[in-house]
Amino acid sequence: MKATIWHNPRCSKSRETLALLEAAGADVTVVRYLETPPTRDELARLYARAGMSPRDGLRTAEDGAKALRDATDDAILDAMAANPILIERPLVETEKGVRLGRPPERVREILV
């Protein structure tokens, strides 16, 4: 099974999710999203596949998120693409779907 994780190695939940994927025997592509951020369109696609809104994927603890309190989904996607620290992590995609690994066990839903 192939999986892609948008990963921040400094994040414990991201590290736990990556370890879960590896333990499940997944062929994992690791994208360090702070260094190689997803495009706005890619984020929109990922959230749509996950059945979540961009607001659900917003890392609200970040200072920049406060300004997006009343923003549209389009504005949130623009902000995330411009400042990827605003993206909640980790996002995982397999052929079965996309999940936000919070908690990490949620990715089991999309493992084959």
Return the active site residues.
11
Residues 6+ apart with CB under 8 A from 18: 5, 7, 28, 30, 90
Nearest to 3 by CA among 86, 77, 90, 85: 90
Helices (H) then strands (E): counts for the chain? 4, 4
CB 20 within 8 A of CB 111: no
CB 58 within 8 A of CB 84: no
